[in-house]
């Protein structure tokens, strides 16, 4: 299998000036992430606010500069690619932004919005009316929407316009940042079904960024769990859900309230608050919130452990905490 | 059943729009029993927010109350003067809003804000501050005394929402209205906030009206649930009855749609086909008929809430013709 996108040890660093007399300090919002997205597959990145998911996505799409590491698309290095060359690539790597209405210019009609990529790429030979028609049909919006403006459509419809726009040029890789945030459950299903259908039709690889585990579970092939700028666990979605290896994954899964009043929830209480990237904990980043912490977790940085079947994790005591969990 | 602290009867609210009145709430009735947690669940546009704004009387200028009354401790809130309402809000009725990032004043310390809201009590400032610190530690904020001197931006989102809860419960209200208080929070923090809310509710002994579109949260926190659709109450009952034995096709569809309910991995998730009806031009009959898979002749008449069993009511004709489906 050939990976469409390979991300190796990427660090995205921001410099922060903190006051008049202090010299600038820097924070690593993404702090060494490796992942691979295969052609035609869906990769989900799950993590809480501030874990660096969006920063990672933007770095892949060339919107943030990756300070270290390597991002390769079809074997070609994207880091440090000049903007003029990156623009060509934006026909193949597209991003769908989080805020559906906010990412559509209020002054452009839906037709102009969905055909904007052709204008940006200077594809003057295209019949924009026909393209608009094709794209609206593809995402299941009625043709009369072409003449409407963003304020005249609902949140769910705005998402569809976002999809149409992203897929206008026939990309190979779609990066979707929280594609269902703020949608009602019934519409959320429509959105995910649409993405799944388009993936089958167009052979698209999708990278989904979300904090909604239920979404990840149904539509992704592989999943990476992100905590404080690093992946802590990775593998085929079903296996990760069935048998999490990292205590943070377990806590996330257990914190997912089930729509059943009698569900016996095994809660894993996390202590304290999510740490700040400005004061990154020593050793294992998760140690000060981990319910199964061991004395040396605060000094030794865990490395990746490969457990086969494409699964790996960064917890040094997966067996011990699992035993504790069963006896509790 | 406990005597209701809030009793909404036949409430109708409409908004004046250029296209004519938009009938956002139509004949809504519900009771919030004392010391219980009642959840309202429904999708965008079902009237949740209009309902809250009617209860706290902070309605948009173009809103008009058509019929009905909102009885709080047997007195109609809709008849109160602005001054009377002001004396009630923050004392006997308080509220936690959706966005914890924007509910606090960014330029005042948390301590200052928590002391300021006690302006009605004639206590020395030191006592008010002490009370504020106690309340903060109750919502699980360590080192409360020192943290009172910090500004809202120095707290995380989950902590800010817990501070908002502390502030809302400081006056020991009889009714707390929580409008999607966990939507802006991450899963692990959401769990924390819900747990605190439940503990404090037992301690303060207030009733909670909890608004959410997250079915899992409602199932976990609430005693009773009210399902709303397009401005009407379509089902209402104990959480167990409604979630285990939903009687309205919409409730059933909504539960089916929740991916948390679907145990098998699927690439084709259930949806509810169709759109919510236009509330400017409300058709006669059942409000859900255009999207209902069980639509039949009787649906041309609007169904009333009828008991399925004790304390479980549904507004659906199927209930009368075939019994609970």
Domains of chain A: 5-81+221-327 (3.40.50.300)
The answer to whether B259 contacts A256, with C-beta atoms less than 8 Å apart, is no
The answer to whether B216 contacts A219, with C-beta atoms less than 8 Å apart, is no
Closest residue in chain B to residue A211, using alpha carbons only: B186
What tokens were used for B76? Answer: 């109609």
pLDDT at B239: 94
The answer to whether A48 contacts B186, with C-beta atoms less than 8 Å apart, is yes
Burial grade of B2 (CB within 10 A; 0-12, 13-18, 19 or more): exposed
What tokens were used for B302? Answer: 């609007």
pLDDT at A174: 96
Rounded to an integer, what distance in angstroms lies between the CA atom of residue B309 and that of residue B194? Answer: 29
Cβ contacts of B18 on chain A, cutoff 8 Å = none
Size of interface A-B (CB pairs under 8 A): 113
Which secondary structure element, helix H or strand E, spans residue A235, and what is its range?
Answer: strand A230-236
- A259 vs B159, B253, B255: nearest CB: B255
User: A270 to chain B, minimum CA–CA distance in Å?
Assistant: 7
Cβ contacts of B154 on chain A, cutoff 8 Å = none
- 8 A C-beta contact, residue B169 and residue B200: yes
Query: Any chain B CB within 8 A of the CB of A184?
Result: yes
Task: Kindly report the pTM of this predicted structure.
Answer: 0.86
pLDDT at B324: 43
Burial B119-141, CB ≥16 within 10 A → b, else e: eeeeeeeeebbebbbebbebbbb
A21 band by pLDDT with thresholds 50, 70 and 90: low
Which secondary structure element, helix H or strand E, spans residue A174, and what is its range?
Answer: strand A173-177
Q: What is the per-residue pLDDT across A33-42, written as a single tens digit (0 to 9) for each?
A: 999 999 999 9
CA B71 vs CA A294, A305, B109: distances in Å: 56, 62, 36
Residue A245 carries which DSSP code? -
Q: What is the ipTM of this complex?
A: 0.79
User: A238 to chain B, minimum CA–CA distance in Å?
Assistant: 8
The answer to whether B244 contacts A187, with C-beta atoms less than 8 Å apart, is no
The answer to whether B216 contacts A256, with C-beta atoms less than 8 Å apart, is yes
* Ramachandran sector of residue A252 (left: φ over 0; alpha: ψ -120 to 50; beta: rest): alpha
Contacts for A65 with CB less than 8 Å, ≥ 6 apart: A12, A59, A79
The answer to whether B213 contacts A251, with C-beta atoms less than 8 Å apart, is no
Cβ contacts of A256 on chain B, cutoff 8 Å = 187, 216, 260
Q: At CB < 8 Å, which residues of chain B contact A?
A: 43-44, 156-159, 186-192, 194, 213-220, 239-240, 243-244, 253-255, 257-262, 265-272
User: A103 to chain B, minimum CA–CA distance in Å?
Assistant: 20
pLDDT at B323: 46
Average pLDDT (A179-200) is 88
Cβ contacts of A238 on chain B, cutoff 8 Å = 265
Cβ contacts of B255 on chain A, cutoff 8 Å = 259
The answer to whether A218 contacts B265, with C-beta atoms less than 8 Å apart, is yes
Rounded to an integer, what distance in angstroms lies between the CA atom of residue B75 and that of residue B81? Answer: 12
The answer to whether B156 contacts A265, with C-beta atoms less than 8 Å apart, is no
- B217 vs A192, A257, A262: nearest CB: A257
The number of C-alpha atoms within 13 Å of B292 and in the hemisphere containing its C-beta is 22
Residue A301 carries which DSSP code? P
End-to-end CA distance of chain A: 42
B211 CA to centre of own chain: 3
Contacts for B25 with CB less than 8 Å, ≥ 6 apart: B11, B12, B13, B14, B47, B50, B51, B54, B231, B232
Helices B249-257, A185-202: crossing angle, 10 deg rounding:
50
Closest residue in chain A to residue B180, using alpha carbons only: A182
The answer to whether B254 contacts A185, with C-beta atoms less than 8 Å apart, is yes
pLDDT at B55: 95
* Best CA proximity match to B169, nearest among B58, B110, B95: B95
Cβ contacts of B259 on chain A, cutoff 8 Å = 185, 188-189, 214-215, 217-218
Instruction: Tell which A residues from 83 to 122 touch B, by Cβ distance under 8 Å.
Output: none
- Below-70 pLDDT ranges, chain B: 1-2, 321-325
The answer to whether B257 contacts A189, with C-beta atoms less than 8 Å apart, is yes
Q: What is the per-residue pLDDT across B233-272, written as a single tens digit (0 to 9) for each?
A: 999 999 999 999 999 999 999 998 888 777 777 888 888 8
A266 band by pLDDT with thresholds 50, 70 and 90: low
pLDDT at A95: 92
Query: Any chain B CB within 8 A of the CB of A40?
Result: no
Reported residue count of chain A is 328
The answer to whether A192 contacts B159, with C-beta atoms less than 8 Å apart, is no
The dihedrals phi and psi of B316, each to the nearest 5 degrees, come to -155, 135
pLDDT at A323: 66
The dihedrals phi and psi of B184, each to the nearest 5 degrees, come to -85, 0
Query: Any chain B CB within 8 A of the CB of A201?
Result: no
Cβ contacts of A18 on chain B, cutoff 8 Å = none
CA B99 vs CA A183, A188, B57, B129, B162: distances in Å: 16, 21, 20, 25, 12
Rounded to an integer, what distance in angstroms lies between the CA atom of residue B308 and that of residue B302? Answer: 17
Rounded to an integer, what distance in angstroms lies between the CA atom of residue A87 and that of residue A90? Answer: 5
3-class state of residue A314 by DSSP: coil
What tokens were used for B298? Answer: 């009787």
Mean pLDDT lowest among A15-19, A98-102, A150-154, A208-212: A15-19
Which secondary structure element, helix H or strand E, spans residue B308, and what is its range?
Answer: strand B306-309
User: B97 to chain A, minimum CA–CA distance in Å?
Assistant: 16
CA B292 vs CA A259, B254, B271, B287: distances in Å: 22, 12, 12, 9
Residue A288 carries which DSSP code? T
Residue B291 carries which DSSP code? G
Q: Which residue has the tokens 């052609």?
A: A39
Residue B89 carries which DSSP code? B
Strands B232-238 and B312-314: antiparallel
pLDDT at A324: 63
What tokens were used for A287? Answer: 């140690």
The total of other beta-carbon atoms located within 10 Å of residue B259's CB is 22
What proportion of chain A, given as a percentage, has pLDDT over 90?
Answer: 57
Cβ contacts of B219 on chain A, cutoff 8 Å = 257-261, 263
Q: Which of B140, B260, B274, B288 to mutate to test the interface with A (most CBs of A within 10 A)?
A: B260
- 8 A C-beta contact, residue B227 and residue B236: yes
A180 band by pLDDT with thresholds 50, 70 and 90: confident
């Amino acid at each position: 299998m050939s990976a469409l996108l390979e991300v190796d040890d990427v660090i995205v660093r921001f410099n922060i000036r903190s006051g008049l007399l202090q010299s600038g300090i820097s924070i690593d919002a993404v702090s060494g992430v490796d992942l691979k997205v295969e052609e035609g597959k869906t990769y989900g990145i799950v993590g809480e606010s501030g874990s660096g998911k969006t920063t990672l996505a933007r770095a892949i799409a060339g919107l943030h500069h990756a300070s270290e590491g390597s991002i390769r698309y079809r074997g070609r290095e994207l880091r440090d690619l000049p903007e003029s060359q990156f623009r060509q690539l934006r026909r193949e790597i597209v991003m769908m932004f989080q805020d559906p209405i906010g990412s559509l210019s209020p002054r452009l009609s839906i037709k102009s919005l969905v055909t904007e990529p052709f204008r940006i790429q200077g594809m003057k030979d295209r019949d924009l009316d026909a393209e608009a028609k094709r794209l609206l049909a593809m995402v299941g919006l009625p043709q009369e929407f072409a003449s409407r403006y963003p304020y005249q459509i609902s949140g769910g419809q705005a998402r569809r316009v976002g999809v149409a726009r992203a897929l206008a040029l026939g990309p190979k890789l779609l990066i979707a940042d929280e594609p269902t945030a703020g949608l009602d459950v019934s519409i959320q299903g429509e959105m995910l079904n649409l993405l799944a259908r388009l993936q089958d039709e167009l052979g698209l690889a999708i990278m989904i960024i979300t904090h909604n585990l239920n979404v990840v579970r149904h539509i992704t092939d592989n999943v990476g769990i992100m905590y404080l700028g690093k992946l802590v666990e990775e593998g085929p979605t079903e296996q990760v859900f069935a048998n999490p290896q990292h205590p943070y994954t377990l806590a996330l899964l257990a914190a997912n309230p089930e729509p059943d009043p009698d569900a016996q929830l095994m809660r894993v209480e996390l202590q304290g608050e999510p740490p700040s990237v400005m004061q990154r904990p020593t050793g294992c980043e998760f140690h000060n919130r981990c319910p199964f912490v061991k004395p040396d977790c605060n000094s030794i940085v865990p490395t990746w452990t490969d457990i086969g079947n494409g699964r790996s994790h960064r917890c040094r005591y997966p067996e011990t905490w699992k035993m504790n969990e069963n006896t509790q | 059943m406990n005597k209701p602290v809030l009793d909404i009867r036949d409430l109708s609210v409409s908004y004046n729009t250029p296209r004519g009145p938009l009938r956002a709430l139509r004949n809504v009735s519900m009771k919030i029993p004392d010391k219980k947690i009642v959840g309202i669940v429904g999708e965008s546009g079902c009237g949740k927010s209009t309902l809250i704004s009617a209860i706290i009387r902070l309605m948009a200028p173009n809103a008009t109350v058509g019929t009905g009354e909102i009885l709080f401790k047997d007195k109609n809130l809709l008849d109160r003067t602005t001054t009377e309402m002001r004396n009630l809000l923050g004392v006997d009725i308080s509220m936690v809003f959706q966005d914890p990032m924007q509910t606090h004043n960014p330029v005042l310390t948390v301590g200052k804000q928590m002391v300021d809201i006690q302006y009605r009590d004639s206590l020395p400032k030191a006592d008010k501050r002490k009370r504020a610190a106690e309340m903060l530690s109750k919502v699980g904020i360590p080192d409360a005394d020192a943290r009172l001197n910090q500004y809202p931006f120095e707290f995380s989102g989950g902590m800010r929402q817990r501070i908002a809860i502390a502030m809302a419960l400081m006056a020991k209200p009889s009714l707390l209205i929580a409008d999607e208080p966990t939507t802006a929070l991450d899963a692990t923090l959401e769990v924390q906030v819900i747990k605190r809310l439940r503990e404090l509710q037992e301690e303060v002994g207030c009733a909670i009206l909890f608004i959410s579109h997250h079915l899992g949260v409602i199932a976990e926190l609430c005693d009773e649930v009210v399902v709303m659709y397009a401005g009407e109450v379509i089902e209402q009952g104990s959480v167990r009855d409604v979630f285990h034995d939903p009687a309205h096709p919409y409730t059933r569809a909504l539960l089916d749609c929740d991916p948390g309910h679907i145990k098998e991995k699927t690439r084709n998730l259930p949806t509810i086909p169709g759109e919510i009806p236009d509330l400017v031009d409300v058709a006669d009959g059942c409000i859900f008929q255009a999207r209902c898979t069980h639509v039949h002749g009787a649906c041309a008449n609007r169904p009333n809430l009828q008991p399925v069993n004790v304390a479980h009511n549904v507004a659906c004709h199927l209930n009368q013709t075939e019994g609970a489906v």
